[in-house]
Amino acid sequence: MSNPSILILPGDGIGPEVMVEVRRVIDWFGANRGLNFDVTEDLVGGAAYDAHGTPLTDETMAKAMEVDAVLLGAVGGPKYDDLDFSVKPERGLLRLRKEMDLYSNLRPAQCFDALAGFSSLKSEIVSGLDIMIIRELTSGIYFGEPRGIIEDNQGGRVGVNTQRYTTDEIRRVARSAFELARKRSNKVCSMEKANVMESGILWREEVQWVHDNEYPDVELSHMYADAGAMQLVRWPKQFDVIVTDNLFGDILSDCAAMLTGSLGMLPSASIGAPSETGRPKALYEPVHGSAPDIAGQGKANPIACILSFAMALRYSFDEGDAASLLENAIEAVLAAGHRTPDLIGEEGRTPLTTIQMGDEILKSLDSLNQA
Ligand code: IPM
Ligand code: MG
């Protein structure tokens, strides 16, 4: 049997430097736990545009379809701001999501105790927080037609995007939320704007249908997305799994992420339907972006990207123990006071570089592995 395969797409900005640390972690699991992967690397986003004039070549797309998991760093940067919309770095990422049919995007917002003081909310509101936002990722206003900028008949311009959801699209993402809830606290809150949008009414009805017919044991509630945003900052621990559409999920997940103190800490997984191998297609990426302002300076926090690999271990490779080991190693590193610059508060600690943080995580893996 060949090893499971991983395609690494470091992308732009801080993507390449955080991905170097992920590769060291992958190698550690090979050397110390007999978990070997066939890893290949390729270009996406602005880096692919610079080399090939497109943010994702057909060859890279084909590779992504073949591997067992894709790990992506980040895409975009000011250098590409003036590019035509069709070749912007973000289009590479959106093409991957769409063609791999990665409809279920898992975005955990978990607050590490050592970092509770970092949140802009009081630490008692966020300490111990562990919620999961499931964002629909392949439909809705991101992809709906018609779209475009058109001329009206008075010589003005109109920007058009379309929010569109089908029954099947809603039901499949709802199922992934209920499945996950069963492995957690058995509670799902669905968010839409059924008070103003027909697509929101359909969303609410279909989520309720899946619940009543297939998951009656899971506690289900519904909330308008604006009220959901308010509740997220008021009392986030009331939630366990939140399921919502593509655009609301984009916004609510950034909000939830910041509750935990640092965007540099949060991973994500995007999961599709099972492929021929039985494994679902999957792409893992940190929630943070390319952070061009700090790129190339050794200031980036590699933890979100490393935790994304932990999610790959858990969801693509069924290696829950290895995933927990990695998460525990990171927790221990933070508890010991190691910090990248994004995690330096008033305590006046000396910041670690990206590589030094990688070193600490490997050391922590070593010591947990021997214990
Ligand atoms: C995200 C990002 C992307 C999105 C961008 C980079 C296209 O904000 O993954 O949340 O809007 O989905
Ligand atoms: Mg976003």
How far away, in angstroms, is 21 Cα from ligand 1 center?
Answer: 23
> Which tokens sit at 8?
């690494």
Strand extents, DSSP E, 219-294: 219-224, 241-244, 267-274, 280-286
Q: How far apart are CA 296 and CA 318, in angstroms?
A: 34
Q: Is the pLDDT of residue 262 over 80?
A: no
Q: At which residue do the structure tokens 């949140």 appear?
A: 119
How far away, in angstroms, is 254 Cα from ligand 2 center?
Answer: 6
Ligand 1 pocket test, candidate residues 9, 107, 136, 250, most atoms within 8 A of CB = 250
Q: Is the pLDDT of residue 254 over 80?
A: yes
- 3-state class of 102 per DSSP? coil
Residue of 67, 38, 4, 2 whose CA lies nearest to 319: 4
H-state helical runs in 110-216: 123-126, 167-182, 198-214
pTM of the model: 0.92
Q: Which residues keep their CB under 5 angstroms from ion ligand 2? A: 250
Atom of ligand 1 nearest to the CA of 93: 7
> Which tokens sit at 303?
């933890």
pLDDT 10s digits, 67-84:
999 999 999 999 999 999
pLDDT 10s digits, 210-232:
999 999 999 999 999 999 999 99
Strand extents, DSSP E, the chain: 5-11, 38-41, 69-74, 104-110, 130-136, 148-151, 157-160, 187-192, 219-224, 241-244, 267-274, 280-286
Q: Any catalytic annotation for residue 63?
A: no
Ligand 1 pocket test, candidate residues 93, 106, 134, 263, most atoms within 8 A of CB = 93
pLDDT 10s digits, 273-313:
877 777 899 999 998 899 999 999 999 999 999 999 999 99
> Which tokens sit at 181?
């809830």
pLDDT 10s digits, 3-38:
999 999 999 999 999 999 999 999 999 999 999 999
Atom of ligand 1 nearest to the CA of 246: 12
Q: Take atom 10 of ligand 1 and give the residue whose Cα is closest.
A: 250
pLDDT 10s digits, 140-169:
999 999 999 999 999 999 999 999 999 999
User: Which pairs count as long-range contacts for 273-281, CB under 8 Å and 24+ apart, including other chains?
Assistant: 273/101, 273/103, 273/172, 277/68, 279/68, 279/316, 280/315, 280/316, 281/65, 281/100, 281/101, 281/102
Q: Take atom 7 of ligand 1 and give the residue whose Cα is closest.
A: 90
User: For the chain, what percent of residues have pLDDT higher than 90?
Assistant: 87
Q: Which residues line ligand 1 (CB under 6 A)?
A: 90, 93-94, 250
How many other β-carbons are positioned within 10 Å of the β-carbon of residue 246?
A: 23
Q: Any catalytic annotation for residue 226?
A: yes
Q: Is the pLDDT of residue 346 over 70?
A: no
DSSP 266: -
Q: How far apart are CA 136 and CA 315, in angstroms?
A: 17
Q: Any catalytic annotation for residue 82?
A: no
